[in-house]
Amino acid sequence: MLPILEIKELKKHYPVKTGLFGRVTGVAKSLDGVSFSVKKGETFAVVGESGSGKTTLGKTVLRLIEPTSGSILFDGTDITELGTEPMRKLKTDMQMVFQDPFGSLDPKWTVRRILEEPLRTHYKLPQEELLKKVNDILEVVGLTAKHASRYPHELSGGQRQRVGIARALILEPKFIVFDEPVSALDVSIQAQVLTLLEDLQSRLSLTYLFISHDLSVVRYISDQVGVMYLGKMMEIGPSEELFTNPLHPYTKALISAIPEPDMDKRRERIVLSGEVPSPRKPPSGCVFHTRCPHAMPECGSVQPEWLEVSANRYTACHLYHK
C-alpha cells in the first residue's frame, strides 16, 4: 500500500522571549526532526506524555501551525510549498477532530449550522442539498435528523463527539487527524466511539493520524505506532510488535505502566526518575538520557541516529548501534 502522508525532518521551533521587551533568548523545540509515513487506509498512532509535541505534530501536518522546516507530502504533493488557495482546497481532503467537542463546537449554533458551515465555506450548494447532506452525515455517525435542531449543550459528551466527527466527515476527506478524540469521554462511550471510527475507516477508506496518551486505546485502534518524547520520535513500529516487544527504553517504560489484569503477562513496572525536561532546554545528546535507566557515557553528548533495527522497526538509541 502506498503512503498517503510522508513527513520528513519536520521541525517547529518557537522563539523563547524573556524580559520586559521580549528579548529572544533561545528556542523551544516542539518538533525537532520528525519523520514517518502513513499508508492509505491505516491508522498511525502517535503517543507520548504531555509536552512531547504530539498535538503540535497533528496541527502542523494540517498546516494549522506553520512548520519551521521539513516537508509534508500529502498524496505526493509537498503541502508546505502550497499557497493559501490551493491549501484551502486541499483542506477538504484533510480534516481534524479535537479532544474537547464542547470546546470545539460553537455553543450558539445548532448542530445543523455547525455541519453546514464547512459546506458553505467550500461549495455553493442549494439549501435542499445542504439539508440532505446534514441528515445523511448524522445517520452515518449514529445520530438522527432530530439532532440537527439541537445545540451542543443539549447533547451528551458522546453525541457531541459524534457531531465533531460528522463535521470532519461532511467534506468527504481522505485523511483525518484525531487529537485525543475519546479521552474526555466515559470508558463505555469511548468504546462506542472507537468502534464507530473503525467502521467509518473501512466503509469510507479513510486514513487516520491518531494522537493519544492512552496506550490501551492506541493498542486497540492502531496499525502503526510512533512514540514521541521532547519533540522527537523515539520509536516507530507495527502496533502489536511494538506493544509485545518494545525496543526503546522510553517505550518500555510507557508500556510497563499499562494495567495488565493477566498476572502471566504482567511486566515489571519501570519507574522513570525525574520530570520531562522543558523543550526550551532539551538535554544534549539523547534527549531521554536524563531519565533513561540504560544511559551510557556517550548518551549525554552524542545524539543517537535513527536506525531500522529489523523490518519496519525503527528506533533512535545507542543500545542498538552496539
- Assess 295 for contact with ligand SF4 (CB under 6 A): yes
Closest CA to 118 of 100, 106, 102, 103: 106
Angle of helix 111-122 relative to helix 157-169, nearest 10 degrees?
A: 20
Residue of the chain from 4, 140, 286, 313 that contacts ligand SF4 (CB under 6 A): 286
Select 10 or 286, whichever has its Cβ closest to ligand SF4.
Answer: 286
Phi and psi angles of residue 201, each rounded to the nearest 5 degrees, phi first: -60, -45
- Coil, strand, or helix at residue 220? helix
Select 205 or 245, whichever has its Cβ closest to ligand SF4.
Answer: 245
Closest CA to 56 of 17, 74, 75, 29: 29
CB of 55 to ligand SF4, least distance (A): 23
Residue 13, all three cell numbers: 521551533
Select 67 or 304, whichever has its Cβ closest to ligand SF4.
Answer: 304
> How far is it, in rounded angstroms, from Cα 178 to Cα 175?
10
Span from 90-98, 108-116, 204-212, 284-292 in contact with ligand SF4 (CB under 6 A): 284-292
Select 99 or 251, whichever has its Cβ closest to ligand SF4.
Answer: 251
Site for ligand SF4 in 239-268 (CB under 6 A): 248-249
Burial of 168-183, coded b for 16+ CB within 10 Å and e otherwise, reads: bbbbebbbbbbbbbbe
Residue of the chain from 99, 111, 304, 314 that contacts ligand SF4 (CB under 6 A): 304
CB of 289 to ligand SF4, least distance (A): 4
- Assess 82 for contact with ligand SF4 (CB under 6 A): no
Site for ligand SF4 in 189-248 (CB under 6 A): 248
Select 15 or 293, whichever has its Cβ closest to ligand SF4.
Answer: 293
Select 191 or 307, whichever has its Cβ closest to ligand SF4.
Answer: 307
Select 4 or 317, whichever has its Cβ closest to ligand SF4.
Answer: 317
- Assess 296 for contact with ligand SF4 (CB under 6 A): yes
CB of 321 to ligand SF4, least distance (A): 9
HSE (side-chain half, CA atoms, 13 Å) at 219? 16
β 207-212/43-47 pair status: parallel
DSSP track, 207-266: EEEEEES-HHHHHHH-SEEEEEETTEEEEEEEHHHHHHS--SHHHHHHHHTS--S-GGGP
Residue 29, all three cell numbers: 523545540
- Assess 288 for contact with ligand SF4 (CB under 6 A): yes
Residues lying near ligand SF4 in the complex (CB under 6 A): 248-249, 286, 288-289, 292, 294-296, 299, 304, 317-319
